[in-house]
Structure 1
């Protein structure tokens, strides 16, 4: 498998050097980034770790980031697909997500009792609604909640694969998709970069091994370009997914050994533990085998994806440029609120991989 190209590594080094003068220094005595964002009303505390409301300014940045990503991938001619943040349970079961990440999955349950059951539910609720915020509540009212045929979407690309399979064989050139969705992972944390509900923008490539590896390499370079234009310090590193259980370490080691996953890391909540704001993943023929996706020559299709963490990248901007967006560096403001097309066009031309 290919490592990130020397060109991408040079982009990382150059952009970090350019942003050292503009990024705010870390102050370990300062309150946490989460506290500062909540105090400023940029994030809204719901009382549940990892679940936040977002202010108008936060949402505006997410939207403008989304526009920049669209421009960055315009020449890919991707098929734009949008799904709600839930997917068919049957497809989820077939995806084998539960083999690797059972602790992160979110299922959707609903009351399926009768009138008597409803009465019992109301009685159970009446016993707990007056309990103080700090006290643990009983979950007796949920005794008649049963699984529905839906689960919460764990990654924006997951609804794509069964859809592609239903269409039959791929064209000779394969296919590229553009997905954007809220996703869920049961991972409560006070780190604002580890939200339970978050948005993911993805480009997904389906085709031959050569097509998908070329795609991933291209997006490692383009992701580096975007984050550099945003004035953020970053590094690209080999990574692995957080596979569950004793056997998870073996799978993670194999994933790293085969260089299947890279992440673009930016210091966000803590300077010594950077956060993955983008990921670049090569799934080999895993999803092709699961869903029986075939190339034009009847070979099993391979897949790859690039994922942009929208909240994480927005948080990184607040961390490094401050809470006042009017005071952000001129180039960052141009990319988000000004002539982003010229910046991206010039950046792609410098990369030389526009086609």
Structure 2
């Protein structure tokens, strides 16, 4: 049985049981395979970044309510002691590291300062962290895994990638018997004083695939935002455009449990059959 834990009794963190772990790993393998079959290379990002790196992406301007910071202890007094399950600010050093709320940041930092040889495709998975007002088990966790497929290069390339994998998501969901709806999202990705923010309001840059009221995947267009912030260039010397496709793995797990009930083997078999129904390479 999956165990939930969290501070002050909040169901914010999950320890997955063996069956749930197998199902989540199989889901991740399916989404990873989509990227690899389309020519993506896999990279491995760290679970935290310098605050100075995350600042480049306006994380603390646009998403301060979601942000977590990581730091060490101030040992000047020679003692570290929690009081009522908490460490007070006087026991902590200044926070120089931040915990990411999205996986794709690693792709842009990996290529920071690079001139790409051409259109590029990466895939990566990471722990993401979100400081939510409330938690709801696998539906909404403080720490969860997100698999992403990230396109860097020409605008046409980025749009082809999100169109291609959007169809994969729809085909996969149909094969699983999941009634997903594609909805435009309103996350404030760009700063309000950025010209891209106005363009985003006129033409949505993020679409979510929702099971009821729960978003379990999304496709995202960033234009040249990350290319500029990380000085990533196309072969012609212009800043690269980027896009990404994201899968919240624990949320997919919750949806499959809702769809197939308490029979994890049925869900696992359904995922494997549905994967065979999705075509990637010839799209």
Q: Identify the match of residue 242 of structure 2 among 303, 323, 346.
A: 303
SS at 2:71 equivalent = strand
- Find out whether 1:147 has 2:86 as its counterpart: no
Contact 1:233 1:266 in 2 (8 A): yes
CA distance in 2, matches of 1:224, 1:86: 32
Residues 106-255 of structure 1 mapped to structure 2, 5 A cutoff: 106-114=68-76, 117-119=77-79, 121-122=80-81, 125=82, 128=83, 139-140=87-88, 142-166=89-113, 168-172=114-118, 174-192=119-137, 193-241=139-187, 255=200
Contact 1:50 1:188 in 2 (8 A): no
Contact 1:188 1:194 in 2 (8 A): no
Partner deviation per Cα, 1:251-307 (whole Å, 9 max, x = no partner): 87753421211110012xxxxxx1110010000011111111110011111000000
- Which residue number in structure 2 is paired with residue 348 of structure 1? 279
- Find out whether 1:265 has 2:210 as its counterpart: yes
- Find out whether 1:44 has 2:13 as its counterpart: no
SS at 1:232 equivalent = coil
Query: 1 or 2, which has the higher helix percentage?
Result: 1
Shift of 1:143: 0.4
- Which residue number in structure 1 is paired with residue 224 of structure 2? 285
Shift of 1:70: 2.4
Shift of 1:159: 1.8
CA distance in 1, matches of 2:121, 2:92: 39
CA distance in 2, matches of 1:253, 1:42: 43
Contact 1:213 1:282 in 2 (8 A): yes
Give the direction of change, closer, same or farther, for the CA distance of 1:243–1:205 in structure 2 (3 Å limit). Answer: closer
CA distance in 1, matches of 2:265, 2:154: 46
Give the direction of change, closer, same or farther, for the CA distance of 1:45–1:138 in structure 2 (3 Å limit). Answer: closer
Give the direction of change, closer, same or farther, for the CA distance of 1:254–1:244 in structure 2 (3 Å limit). Answer: closer
* Structure 2: 5+ residue stretches without partners: none
Give the direction of change, closer, same or farther, for the CA distance of 1:243–1:306 in structure 2 (3 Å limit). Answer: closer
Contact 1:44 1:55 in 2 (8 A): no
- Find out whether 1:335 has 2:277 as its counterpart: no
Give the direction of change, closer, same or farther, for the CA distance of 1:231–1:147 in structure 2 (3 Å limit). Answer: farther
CA distance in 1, matches of 2:86, 2:149: 43
Contact 1:238 1:261 in 2 (8 A): yes
* Structure 1: 5+ residue stretches without partners: 1-40, 130-136, 268-273
CA distance in 1, matches of 2:36, 2:150: 14
SS at 1:104 equivalent = coil
- Find out whether 1:83 has 2:45 as its counterpart: yes
Shift of 1:59: 1.1
SS at 1:213 equivalent = helix
CA distance in 1, matches of 2:86, 2:49: 29
Give the direction of change, closer, same or farther, for the CA distance of 1:253–1:333 in structure 2 (3 Å limit). Answer: farther
Instruction: Please tell me the root mean square deviation across aligned C-alpha atoms, in Å.
Output: 2.6
- Which residue number in structure 1 is paired with residue 259 of structure 2? 320
Give the direction of change, closer, same or farther, for the CA distance of 1:243–1:177 in structure 2 (3 Å limit). Answer: closer
